[in-house]
Structure 1
Amino acid sequence: MKLTGVIPPVCTPLTPSFDVDGPSLTRLVDHLMDGGVDGLFVLGSSSEAAYLPDGHRRAVLDTVVGHVAGQVPVLAGVIDMTTLRVLDHVRAAVVAGVDGIVATAPFYARTHPAEIALHFRTIAEVAELPVYAYDLPVSVHTKLGRDLLLELASSGVLAGVKDSSGDDGGLRSLILSRPSSFSVLTGSEVTVDCALWMGADGVVPGLGNVDPHGYARLFAAARAGDWAAAKDEQERLINLFELVTVGLPRMGGGSSALGAFKAALHLRGVIDHPTTAVPQIPLNEEETRRVGKHLADAGLL
């Protein structure tokens, strides 16, 4: 079935000693499911996949797939530098029982579009599951072009794309040209109503960890054609999204955003610790207080 709706990239709760916190992870999954999400994406950027060793990745897969038990689709990120490394992650995800695979283009080494196409074809052959491309040029340093995505979609290699490129014109062009079975998901937290109006099929919002109900309401309003309600919900979420800035400029944007998501989940009683993986810098007491104020202003505390 075509993937649609709200599919948050699930944060990875960690203990103070940087192990995967299984009980907190299952509570987070319950929090998301209670919020009305349509699927879960583990081991993406908001999951801190780039920071997690392989044992941590396997623990996340086993915990989430086992706990969800087929209630919603679970997609697994298999992000790594080159194809052979990615295939190891693919095999682990297949063994865990996921419903789909999410992969970026290769990175570190510069790759030609023909090499990127071979990368995705190889993943699809090994996985024998739906494969979704993750267009993330800010981290991968390669933009997945429309023609490449359409070629891979038409040949059955790709089931869809998570577009985190920030290129709204390119997103609209892809939506207008894609096969009807190809799922287009926006990775933007703050322009979801616009993307859905253009014809996107859903959203993969990191902020959805904190407020899954809000994104579920936004999607439901858009699906019903109530664009005024969708706009109102989107604007509330835009204000809430300001929490990602609380650590700036004392730390990098990733530390600030992921630290804020985890601080918010901790303040809401969902996870036991707001620990982020090193070398990310943790939020201090004042920054955490500011996260709490954003939550209160959004009606979440």
Structure 2
Amino acid sequence: MSDFLKGTGVALATPFNVDGTIDYQGVTALVDHCIEGGVEYLVVLGTTAESVTLSKEEKKKLTAHIIEVNNQRLPIVLGIGGNNTNAIISEIKEADLTGVDAILSVVPMYNKPTQKGIYQHYKEINDNTSLPILLYNVPSRTGTNMSAETTLQLAQLEHIVGIKEATSDFSQVLKIIKDKPKDFLVISGDDVLALPLVAAGGNGVISVIGQGFPKEFSEMIRLGLAGDTQNAFDILYGLLPVIDYAFEEGNPAGIKNILKAKNVCDDSVRLPLVSVSDSLSNKIKNFVKNYS
């Protein structure tokens, strides 16, 4: 049912004009760039999209625009998450989810629920949609880690089909892969660890750098899934410097500067984020110019 989530998904950035408004021409260019590069699916309104700085109306218009530009070429995963369970349920019920193939929902941040609270939060989401749901565990942003045990418990629910796992504890990822139901997907939320996760039995990645280098990164994951780890790691080692650059001064400032260097869109971000420094921008330009 959820095989379309295997391989490389990209967590799309939101291109902005210099005045801070959404650059819809840039959005179109970015979507086309990713699709033409061979990624398997698109992720809309994730962290990389600066979704916390987008208004309700902007989110609605941006999602509709991406669905229109995509024109059913690739599956679309929509980020619907937060730390108010009832508000998420209302958003799901009120949203026009035509053209959306799955939901990505992050572990609640800031209010730091217990494992029981995390379970009940996701159970409510599961019970209020018929779309496939991807869990998203990113402790570095939320301040709370969803344990392997909670993930495996949630994997038994009807609509929860997988997890985007971005913990720094790789042993936790291995526990999930070892004991998960057969069809439950384990997807990396860390670009550097994506290939090791695939080699360990995972199913792919939701990538940031993949939108900068969609052809290379998606090919790397496909090779990894096919068991050709030598050629896959050759690609990863070639991309390692720019993966570091993408996160050196924060996401999505880094990936947006990469996209600017590749003439896809501008690198403007919204406060409290700021654009990367001149020194990092120069490193990125040199990498893009010399990478082959």
TM-score by length of 2: 0.93
Following TM superposition, by how much is the alpha carbon of 1:54 offset from its aligned partner in structure 2, in angstroms?
1.7
Following TM superposition, by how much is the alpha carbon of 1:187 offset from its aligned partner in structure 2, in angstroms?
1.0
- Residues 185, 202 of structure 1: 8 Å contact kept: yes
Spell out the pairing of 1:114-153 with structure 2 (5 A cutoff): 114-153=116-155
Amino acid at match of 1:162: K
- Residues 126, 157 of structure 2: 8 Å contact kept: no
Following TM superposition, by how much is the alpha carbon of 1:199 offset from its aligned partner in structure 2, in angstroms?
0.5
Following TM superposition, by how much is the alpha carbon of 1:208 offset from its aligned partner in structure 2, in angstroms?
0.8
- In structure 2, the partner of 1:22 is 24
Following TM superposition, by how much is the alpha carbon of 1:114 offset from its aligned partner in structure 2, in angstroms?
2.1
Aligned equivalents of 2:18 and 2:138: distance in 1?
A: 30
Following TM superposition, by how much is the alpha carbon of 1:21 offset from its aligned partner in structure 2, in angstroms?
1.2
Which of 215, 218, 240 is the matching residue for 1:216? Answer: 218
Return 5+ residue gaps in structure 2 as ranges. none
Following TM superposition, by how much is the alpha carbon of 1:200 offset from its aligned partner in structure 2, in angstroms?
0.6
Aligned equivalents of 1:110 and 1:263: distance in 2?
A: 33
Amino acid at match of 2:85: T
Is residue 267 of structure 1 aligned with residue 261 of structure 2? yes
- Residues 259, 282 of structure 1: 8 Å contact kept: yes
- In structure 1, the partner of 2:61 is 59
Is residue 109 of structure 1 aligned with residue 103 of structure 2? no
Spell out the pairing of 1:1-301 with structure 2 (5 A cutoff): 1-2=1-2, 3-91=5-93, 93-244=95-246, 253-254=249-250, 257-271=251-265, 273-299=266-292
TM-score by length of 1: 0.91
Aligned equivalents of 1:24 and 1:245: distance in 2?
A: 21
Amino acid at match of 2:170: D
Deviations 1:126-149 (A, max 9, x none): 222011100011111111111211
Aligned equivalents of 1:296 and 1:35: distance in 2?
A: 18
- Residues 26, 64 of structure 1: 8 Å contact kept: yes
Aligned equivalents of 2:221 and 2:156: distance in 1?
A: 27
Following TM superposition, by how much is the alpha carbon of 1:7 offset from its aligned partner in structure 2, in angstroms?
0.3
Aligned equivalents of 2:94 and 2:18: distance in 1?
A: 26
Amino acid at match of 2:184: F
- Residues 131, 159 of structure 2: 8 Å contact kept: no
Tell me the number of residue pairs that the alignment of Structure 1 and Structure 2 aligns: 290
Aligned to 2:233, what secondary structure does the other structure show?
Answer: helix
- In structure 2, the partner of 1:250 is none
Return 5+ residue gaps in structure 1 as ranges. 247-252
Amino acid at match of 1:168: F
Amino acid at match of 1:188: D
Following TM superposition, by how much is the alpha carbon of 1:92 offset from its aligned partner in structure 2, in angstroms?
5.2
Aligned equivalents of 1:153 and 1:71: distance in 2?
A: 28
Deviations 1:160-197 (A, max 9, x none): 00001122111011011111111110011112221111
Q: Percent identity?
A: 23
Aligned equivalents of 1:6 and 1:237: distance in 2?
A: 15
Amino acid at match of 2:281: T
Following TM superposition, by how much is the alpha carbon of 1:152 offset from its aligned partner in structure 2, in angstroms?
1.5
Aligned to 1:189, what secondary structure does the other structure show?
Answer: coil
Aligned equivalents of 1:90 and 1:209: distance in 2?
A: 27
- Residues 264, 291 of structure 1: 8 Å contact kept: yes
- Residues 203, 225 of structure 2: 8 Å contact kept: no
Q: What's the C-alpha RMSD, in Å, of the aligned pairs? A: 1.7
Q: Which range moved further: 62-71 or 23-32?
A: 62-71
- Residues 199, 225 of structure 2: 8 Å contact kept: no
- Residues 90, 101 of structure 1: 8 Å contact kept: no
Aligned equivalents of 1:60 and 1:91: distance in 2?
A: 18
Distance 1:105 1:117, change over 3 A: same
Aligned equivalents of 1:276 and 1:93: distance in 2?
A: 26
- Residues 81, 108 of structure 1: 8 Å contact kept: yes
Q: Which range moved further: 92-101 or 153-162?
A: 92-101
Following TM superposition, by how much is the alpha carbon of 1:285 offset from its aligned partner in structure 2, in angstroms?
4.0
Q: Which range moved further: 111-120 or 277-286?
A: 277-286
Aligned equivalents of 1:18 and 1:177: distance in 2?
A: 45
Q: Which range moved further: 140-149 or 107-116?
A: 107-116
- Residues 177, 186 of structure 2: 8 Å contact kept: yes
Aligned to 2:252, what secondary structure does the other structure show?
Answer: helix
